[in-house]
Structure 1
Amino acid sequence: MEGGCHSRTGNGRRPAEQRAWHPASLLGRLDRADRDRLLALGTRVPHPADQVLLREAEHTDHVLVLLQGLVKVTGHADDDREALLAVRVRGDLLGELAALDGQPRSATVTTCGPVVTQVVTRTAFLACLRDRPRIAHAVNEAVVAKLRAATTHRVNFIGCDAATRLARVLHHLAMTYGERDGDGAVIRWPITQPELATMAGASEPSVQKALRRLRAEGVVTTGYRSIRVEGLARLRSIGYPDL
């Protein structure tokens, strides 16, 4: 639990879930007292890779706080293809819309590697929001941020070709979720070319061609379950040539 942030493992390191939370995540928006309050709710549960945590259209209303690992959020498009909508990192809240409005799940959440979540019932979650205004405010901010990101994603792709869209997707992923290293960044989670295609709103062959070009130009390199951006400035100039 985050409240034990001064403890260490046997090798002197902090446990993974006790390191700094991503500042844009829900837990990153909270002070220590409110984090401890939220993390005192529910039950901690480990999950293996490729496990569905929440399923689109199902009638469940609990929420999950992501303590370790990464998950992907997907939905079904009109042609029944699976579209990658977002990635969530440690500290993020999952499933809050169904808890807030009582409606079916709007998307599917699947683990990208082993993860740990805190499972909180709707009753406990809503009571916490009523009792802790600062937590309620942080949840509202997180929901609004997700909606703004979705809107920006759609607007940014109007009138762009596949190569530009891919560059913007990779730049966003690297800046938001990547491990920064100077002008480079590593995205350490498995993302397939079909998933990149759905995020870029382009066909898979078009994305494959654009990715080959980025590799040939030394802008990105791909490895096992990872993508490394060698030059963020160069990638940004490809994605946003008018800036």
Structure 2
Amino acid sequence: MDGAETDRTGASTDRTGADWPPTTLLGRLGPADRDLLLALGTRVRYPAGRVLIREGDRTDSVLLLLGGLVKVTARADDGRDALLAVRVRGDIVGEFAAVDGGPRSATVTACGPVLTRRVRRDDFVACVRDRHRIALALQQTVVAKLRAATVHRTTFTGCDAATRVARVLHHLAMTYGDRTGAGAEIRWPITQPELATLAGASEPSVQKALRRFRTMGFVTPGYRSIRVDDLARLHAVAYAEP
């Protein structure tokens, strides 16, 4: 954990009220179960760009995200890093390896400063075993991730590259963007190769689509960020009737 800051601060200092996103693990739990889970482990801060979990490693902990945002990537057959998902505060990462004891299936990297609670696998498994509401919330969270992966695949069937890029941008802006009037800004760094893997498109196709959207006036690519100036127009392009 090079560069991470660790302490033994209690769970009470990790609370931020009842505003955990409802689709996350912590958002699915009631106050008592959430406090019990947050009392486990150690609070760890990571700087921007730090790898929290590395694909293929065998480690014995899960991470609860208390603040910030991370991206989940995996190495594709052609050697590229494919962006699989983005996780936000309230989410859990590393739970697959905690459940089956296998190696890490993906790499998790901090997009900006990230605050986590690192919980040993044995403590986490015991908590899930003893608290059925936490177990149910974990199952719901895992199923939601699998459903999202399925929707991602089926939504792109039959679409051209520009449409797929538009759908990815709309999803990222609506889910993780900072809303500003009619638009939103994706402030965390997403590279064109990562956008290409999400959209199932080549990098030249992504570049062509971004140039087209910029010319049309509703997307402005920037350095390590993308601003959607008009979400309604982006949605119209992404989901236009054939």
Q: TM-score, normalised by structure 2?
A: 0.90
Q: Which residue of 2 aligns with 1:64?
A: 63
Q: Which residue of 1 aligns with 2:49?
A: 50
Structure 2, gaps ≥5 residues long? 1-9
Q: Which residue of 1 aligns with 2:240?
A: 241
CA distance in 2, matches of 1:212, 1:18: 42
**SS at the partner of 1:72?**
strand
Asked if the contact 2:24/2:90 (under 8 Å) is kept, the reply is yes
Asked if the contact 2:11/2:39 (under 8 Å) is kept, the reply is no
**Deviation (angstroms), 1:61:** 3.1
Q: Deviations over 1:36-61 (max 9, x none)?
A: 11110000011111111111121123
CA distance in 1, matches of 2:22, 2:60: 26
Q: Which residue of 1 aligns with 2:132?
A: 133
**SS at the partner of 1:104?**
coil
Q: TM-score, normalised by structure 1?
A: 0.90
Asked if the contact 1:34/1:134 (under 8 Å) is kept, the reply is yes
CA distance in 1, matches of 2:217, 2:17: 36
Q: Which residue of 2 aligns with 1:185?
A: 184
Q: Partner letter of residue 135 of structure 1? A: I
CA distance in 2, matches of 1:68, 1:46: 9
Asked if the contact 1:69/1:89 (under 8 Å) is kept, the reply is yes
Asked if the contact 2:221/2:227 (under 8 Å) is kept, the reply is yes
Q: Partner letter of residue 240 of structure 1? A: Y
Q: In percent, how many aligned pairs have the same letter?
A: 68
**SS at the partner of 1:202?**
coil
Q: Which residue of 1 aligns with 2:28?
A: 29
Structure 1, gaps ≥5 residues long? 6-14
Paired residues in the alignment total 233
**Deviation (angstroms), 1:110:** 0.8
**Deviation (angstroms), 1:170:** 0.5
More off after superposition, 150-159 vs 88-97 = 150-159
**SS at the partner of 1:153?**
helix
CA distance in 1, matches of 2:104, 2:53: 7
Q: Partner letter of residue 68 of structure 2? A: G
Q: Which residue of 2 aligns with 1:84?
A: 83
More off after superposition, 81-90 vs 176-185 = 176-185
Q: Which runs of 4+ in 1 moved over 4 A?
A: 1-5
Give the direction of change, closer, same or farther, for the CA distance of 1:183–1:166 in structure 2 (3 Å limit): same
CA distance in 1, matches of 2:174, 2:11: 25
CA distance in 1, matches of 2:203, 2:129: 46
CA distance in 1, matches of 2:155, 2:60: 32
Give the direction of change, closer, same or farther, for the CA distance of 1:2–1:242 in structure 2 (3 Å limit): farther
Asked if the contact 1:2/1:18 (under 8 Å) is kept, the reply is no
Alignment of 1:70-109 (within 5 A): 70-109=69-108
Q: Which residue of 1 aligns with 2:3?
A: none
Asked if the contact 2:45/2:116 (under 8 Å) is kept, the reply is yes
Q: Partner letter of residue 132 of structure 2? A: P
Asked if the contact 2:184/2:227 (under 8 Å) is kept, the reply is yes
CA distance in 2, matches of 1:61, 1:231: 44
Give the direction of change, closer, same or farther, for the CA distance of 1:56–1:4 in structure 2 (3 Å limit): closer
